[in-house]
Amino acid sequence: NAGVTQTPKFQVLKTGQSMTLQCAQDMNHNSMYWYRQDPGMGLRLIYYSASEGTTDKGEVPNGYNVSRLNKREFSLRLESAAPSQTSVYFCASSEARDLGQPQHFGDGTRLSIL
C-alpha cells in the first residue's frame, strides 16, 4: 500500500537549472497539494489541485509551476532554480468533499540549490 510517492528523495541543483518533482497517489483522492518546509516557517502551500484539470496558487507560488497530469499524479516544476528554493518539499493528497478527511503525505524531497 504505497500511499503518496515522491521522487526523487534528494536532489542537488545548480542555480538556473530546471527540474520536476514527481508525486503520485494510489488512494483515488481528488485533492493534491505541494508544500515547502523551511525551519521556523512550517509547511507553506505552493500550489494545490482540488480535482483533475484544476490547479490553484497557494501562499508561495512564485518560481514554481504545477501540472495535474491525471487524478493520480501532480508534478511541481522549478523552471530556473534559485538558492532561495532550497527546502524540503512535501506532496500530499486528501479525499475532497469531506472536511474531516486528513491529508496523506509523501516522504518529502530534500532539494539543495547551489
Partner 1 sequence: AQKITQTQPGMFVQEKEAVTLDCTYDTSDQSYGLFWYKQPSSGEMIFLIYQGSYDEQNATEGRYSLNFQKARKSANLVISASQLGDSAMYFCAMREGLASYDKVIFGPGTSLSVIP
Q: How far apart are CA 17 and CA 66, in angstroms?
A: 17
CB 100, min distance to partner 1, A: 5
| Nearest-5° Cα angle at 18, 3 to 108 | 25
State the chain's maximal CA–CA distance in angstroms. Answer: 41
d(CA 62, CA 95): 27
Name the H helices within 10-85.
none
Identified binder of partner 1 from the candidate list 10, 53, 62, 102, rule CB under 8 A: 102
The distance of closest approach from Cβ of residue 92 to partner 1 in the complex, given in angstroms and rounded to an integer, is 8
Stretch that binds partner 1, among 10-18, 62-70, 73-81, 90-98 (CB under 8 A): 90-98
Q: Binding mask 21-50 vs partner 1 (x if CB under 8 A, - otherwise)? A: ---------xx-x-x----xxxxxx--x-x
- Taking the complex as a whole, the smallest distance from the CB of residue 94 to partner 1 amounts, in Å, to 7
